[in-house]
Chain A
Amino acid sequence: MQKPEPIITIEHVSHSFGDKIVLDDINLVVRKGEFVTILGPSGCGKTTLLRLIAGFQKASEGKFTLGGTDVTETPPHHRPVNTVFQKYALFPHLNVYQNIAFGLNLKKLPSADIKRKVMHVLKMVTMTDYEERDVGSLSGGQQQRVAIARAIVNEPQVLLLDEPLAALDLKMRKDMQMEIRAMHKKLGITFVYVTHDQEEALTLSDTIVVMSEGKIQQIGTPTEIYNEPANAFVADFIGESNIMNGVMIKDSLVEFADHQFECVDKGFGQNEPVDVVLRPEDIYIFELSEAAQFTGTVTSCIFKGVHYEMMVITPEGYEFLIQDYHNFEVGRTVSLLVKPNDIHVMKKERLINTFEGVVIDKTQVRFLGHTFKLDEKISVANGSKVKVAVDFNKIILQDNEEDGMIRGDVRFILYKGDHYHLTVVTKDQEHIFVDTNDVWDDGDRIGITIPPESIQIINQ
Chain B
Amino acid sequence: MQRNLKSFIGLRRNWSIPYLLFLALFVLIPLGLIVYYAFTSHDGAFTLTNFRKFWMHPEAMNTFIFSIGIALITTVLCLILGYPAAYILSRMESQNAQILVLLFILPMWVNFLIRTLATVALFDFLSLPLGKGSLIFGMVYNFLPFMIYPIYNILQKTDSNLIEAAQDLGANPRQVFLKTILPLSAPGISSGIMMVFMPVISTFAIAELLTINNIKLFGTTLQENIYNGMWNYGAALSLVMLLLIGLTSLLNNEGTANDSAEGGLI
| Residues 63 to 99 of chain B near chain A (Cβ within 8 Å) | none
Among the listed A56, A134, A154, which residue makes an inter-chain contact with B169, where contact means beta carbons less than 8 Å apart?
Answer: A154
**Inter-chain contacts of B168 with A (CB < 8 A):** 54, 56, 76-77, 81-83, 151
Q: How far is the CB of A240 from chain B (nearest CB, A)?
A: 34
Among the listed B159, B161, B169, B172, which residue makes an inter-chain contact with A102, where contact means beta carbons less than 8 Å apart?
Answer: B169
Question: Is residue A103 contacting chain B, with contact meaning CB distance below 8 A?
Answer: yes
**Inter-chain contacts of B175 with A (CB < 8 A):** 106
Cβ contact within 8 Å between B161 and A106: no
Q: How far is the CB of B162 from chain A (nearest CB, A)?
A: 5
Q: How far is the CB of A80 from chain B (nearest CB, A)?
A: 10
Question: Is residue A85 contacting chain B, with contact meaning CB distance below 8 A?
Answer: yes
Q: Identify which of B168, B171, B179 gathers the most chain A CB atoms within 10 Å of its CB.
A: B168
CB contact under 8 A between A91 and B180, given known A77-B167, A85-B165 = yes
**Inter-chain contacts of B162 with A (CB < 8 A):** 89, 91-92
Cβ contact within 8 Å between A91 and B260: no
Question: Is residue A75 contacting chain B, with contact meaning CB distance below 8 A?
Answer: yes
Among the listed A76, A90, A134, which residue makes an inter-chain contact with B167, where contact means beta carbons less than 8 Å apart?
Answer: A76
| Residues 382 to 428 of chain A near chain B (Cβ within 8 Å) | none
Question: Is residue B127 contacting chain A, with contact meaning CB distance below 8 A?
Answer: no
**Inter-chain contacts of A76 with B (CB < 8 A):** 164, 167-168
Question: Is residue A107 contacting chain B, with contact meaning CB distance below 8 A?
Answer: yes
Cβ contact within 8 Å between A93 and B186: yes
- Chain B residue at minimal CB-CB distance from A160: B168
Complex-state Cα separation, A81 to B179, whole angstroms: 20
Cβ contact within 8 Å between B167 and A102: no
**Inter-chain contacts of B111 with A (CB < 8 A):** none
Q: How far is the CB of A49 from chain B (nearest CB, A)?
A: 15
Question: Is residue B124 contacting chain A, with contact meaning CB distance below 8 A?
Answer: no
Complex-state Cα separation, A85 to B167, whole angstroms: 13
Cβ contact within 8 Å between A103 and B169: yes
Question: Is residue A87 contacting chain B, with contact meaning CB distance below 8 A?
Answer: yes
**Inter-chain contacts of B258 with A (CB < 8 A):** 93, 134
Complex-state Cα separation, A103 to B183, whole angstroms: 17
Among the listed A77, A91, A136, which residue makes an inter-chain contact with B170, where contact means beta carbons less than 8 Å apart?
Answer: A77
Among the listed A81, A89, A93, which residue makes an inter-chain contact with B164, where contact means beta carbons less than 8 Å apart?
Answer: A89
**Inter-chain contacts of A90 with B (CB < 8 A):** 165
Cβ contact within 8 Å between B170 and A107: yes
- Chain B residue at minimal CB-CB distance from A83: B168
Binary interface encoding of chain A residues 201-241 relative to chain B, with 1 for a CB under 8 A from any of its CBs, else 0:
00000000000000000000000000000000000000000
Complex-state Cα separation, A152 to B259, whole angstroms: 27
Complex-state Cα separation, A81 to B171, whole angstroms: 13
**Inter-chain contacts of B215 with A (CB < 8 A):** none
CB contact under 8 A between A75 and B167, given known A91-B180, A93-B184 = yes
Cβ contact within 8 Å between A77 and B172: yes
Complex-state Cα separation, A150 to B165, whole angstroms: 10
Cβ contact within 8 Å between A93 and B165: no
Binary interface encoding of chain A residues 263-278 relative to chain B, with 1 for a CB under 8 A from any of its CBs, else 0:
0000000000000000
Binary interface encoding of chain B residues 169-205 relative to chain A, with 1 for a CB under 8 A from any of its CBs, else 0:
1111001000110011010000000000000000000
- Chain B residue at minimal CB-CB distance from A75: B167
Question: Is residue B166 contacting chain A, with contact meaning CB distance below 8 A?
Answer: yes
Cβ contact within 8 Å between A85 and B164: yes
- Chain A residue at minimal CB-CB distance from B185: A93
Q: How far is the CB of A371 from chain B (nearest CB, A)?
A: 37
Cβ contact within 8 Å between A91 and B165: yes
- Chain A residue at minimal CB-CB distance from B176: A77
**Inter-chain contacts of A77 with B (CB < 8 A):** 167-172
CB contact under 8 A between A106 and B167, given known A87-B161, A93-B183 = no
Cβ contact within 8 Å between B169 and A92: no
Cβ contact within 8 Å between B161 and A85: yes
Complex-state Cα separation, A136 to B261, whole angstroms: 13
CB contact under 8 A between A93 and B259, given known A76-B164, A85-B165 = yes
Complex-state Cα separation, A89 to B162, whole angstroms: 5
**Inter-chain contacts of A151 with B (CB < 8 A):** 168-169
Complex-state Cα separation, A77 to B175, whole angstroms: 10
Q: How far is the CB of A432 from chain B (nearest CB, A)?
A: 34
Q: How far is the CB of A23 from chain B (nearest CB, A)?
A: 19
**Inter-chain contacts of B259 with A (CB < 8 A):** 92-93
Cβ contact within 8 Å between A56 and B180: no
Q: How far is the CB of B135 from chain A (nearest CB, A)?
A: 37
Q: How far is the CB of A387 from chain B (nearest CB, A)?
A: 42
Q: How far is the CB of B148 from chain A (nearest CB, A)?
A: 22
- Chain B residue at minimal CB-CB distance from A87: B161
Q: How far is the CB of B233 from chain A (nearest CB, A)?
A: 45
**Inter-chain contacts of B180 with A (CB < 8 A):** 91
Q: How far is the CB of B30 from chain A (nearest CB, A)?
A: 39
**Inter-chain contacts of B170 with A (CB < 8 A):** 77, 103, 106-107, 154
Q: How far is the CB of A160 from chain B (nearest CB, A)?
A: 8
Q: How far is the CB of B100 from chain A (nearest CB, A)?
A: 24
**Inter-chain contacts of B169 with A (CB < 8 A):** 77, 82, 102-103, 106, 150-151, 154
| Residues 214 to 264 of chain B near chain A (Cβ within 8 Å) | 258-260
Complex-state Cα separation, A136 to B170, whole angstroms: 23
- Chain B residue at minimal CB-CB distance from A153: B169
Cβ contact within 8 Å between A56 and B167: yes
**Inter-chain contacts of A134 with B (CB < 8 A):** 258
Q: How far is the CB of B169 from chain A (nearest CB, A)?
A: 4
**Inter-chain contacts of B183 with A (CB < 8 A):** 93
CB contact under 8 A between A92 and B184, given known A76-B164, A87-B161, A102-B179 = yes
**Inter-chain contacts of A75 with B (CB < 8 A):** 167
- Chain B residue at minimal CB-CB distance from A101: B169
Cβ contact within 8 Å between B164 and A92: no
Binary interface encoding of chain A residues 49-75 relative to chain B, with 1 for a CB under 8 A from any of its CBs, else 0:
000001110000000000000000001
**Inter-chain contacts of A82 with B (CB < 8 A):** 168-169
Complex-state Cα separation, A48 to B159, whole angstroms: 18
**Inter-chain contacts of A136 with B (CB < 8 A):** 260
9 smallest beta-carbon distances between A and B, as pairs: A103-B169, A89-B161, A89-B165, A76-B167, A93-B183, A83-B168, A106-B170, A77-B170, A77-B167
Additional A-B contacts beyond A77-B167, A77-B170, A91-B180 (14; CB < 8 A): A56-B164, A56-B167, A77-B171, A77-B172, A85-B164, A89-B161, A89-B162, A91-B165, A91-B166, A92-B259, A106-B169, A106-B170, A150-B169, A154-B170
Sampled A-B contacts (24; CB under 8 Å): A54-B164, A54-B168, A56-B164, A56-B168, A77-B168, A77-B169, A82-B169, A83-B165, A85-B161, A87-B159, A90-B165, A91-B162, A91-B165, A93-B186, A93-B258, A102-B169, A102-B179, A103-B169, A106-B175, A106-B179, A107-B170, A136-B260, A150-B169, A151-B168
